[in-house]
Amino acid sequence: DAATDAALALVYGQLKSGGWTNSVEFDPKSKLTAEYRNGKGRGRNNSTLDDGITQSAIRLLIHVDQAHQFQNQKIHEAAEIALNALLAAQFPVGAFPQVWTEPVKNVSPKAGNFPEYDWRTEGRIKNYWDCYTLNDGLAGYVSTVLIEAYEIYKDPRYQQAVLKLGDFLIASQLPQPQTAWAQQYNYEMQPIWARRFEPPAVTGGETQDVIETLMKIYQFSGGDEKYLKPIPAALAWLKKSQLPDGQLARYYELKTNRPLYMTRSGKNYSLTYDDSDLPRHYDWKIESKLSQLQREYNLLKAGKQQNSQSSQRELSTRVKTILKELDSQARWISTSTGERLVGQPKFPVNSQYISSEVFSDHLQTLSAYLELLKTN
């Protein structure tokens, strides 16, 4: 019942463009409404793939739709509209934009390359969100929802969309000396600026997400080797790009591969190689997953699935840690370090709160462990 109620809440907040924005306002008189499909809101019609927003909404809808044996008309219709809109948002080259309001335009395919102009001062695109996007795990989120949609509905369009996405990931890999990926690309397949603190660069986080996604698509394709072919060079880039402390920088300067950061003065940002005074609203360094990715790649090349005994042991260790972190009321409590949380007031340092992100991540891990036990 709770899942159905949540799904119906998403139906209410579905935009005319078929997806979702980052919140749903149920008061039709509020200024925070968007252009909902139900006609009870006025505002923007921007369906977004940022941070997995629309993808997560679709995943809930299609699983609840399946649980109702496709007989709940409102949920089934919303799921169909959302999936059709997602397919219409895929460029012919296989990429997706960050945001769409209507079907995307036809663009000729290109291979990933470095801009020849001075990217520091030139090449900015105001509506960068209309361009090819990999930022914030977009490839992983989209591939997951399309694979699940295919498994539930058996519609070959979802299968084809997954493989097209994989083809884009292959094409968008940059050449030597940086055989990795960027957050945003223009239609010439060159890294571009997004927000004022997001420069054209090779990015550690997106590269790790793309490697994971390519391995997922390789398995989904039945073992098409072309989806593994880009990975060795990408792993080599991750290895040479690790910082002395084992982390990865979020950004690496084009061609030189120097870790790239920003300083901030008011609303103005400046590029720097110095990491001693970084804006606190953004993660400038991230955890390296090199060992895990290398292990998973080796397993696939050896003809083994990623749910091997070693993977089960690793997942079991994570589950034990998650369960130990529960407090006496069965909650996971987070402690603020003063960081800004999206959509929330800034909590004082050391104040305690319940994080919906932590809750969701832990439940996904626990569910994955139960699923693994069931298959074994």
* pLDDT at residue 225, rounded to an integer: 96
Output the pTM of the full model.
0.87
* pLDDT at residue 15, rounded to an integer: 98
* pLDDT at residue 305, rounded to an integer: 57
Give dist(CA 98, CA 132) in Å, integer.
Answer: 7
Closest C-alpha among 165, 38, 209, 184 to residue 99: 184
Buried b (16+ CB within 10 A) or exposed e, 254-277: beebebbbbbbeeeebeeeeeeee
* pLDDT at residue 375, rounded to an integer: 73
Which residues in the chain come in under a pLDDT of 50?
A: 307
* pLDDT at residue 344, rounded to an integer: 67
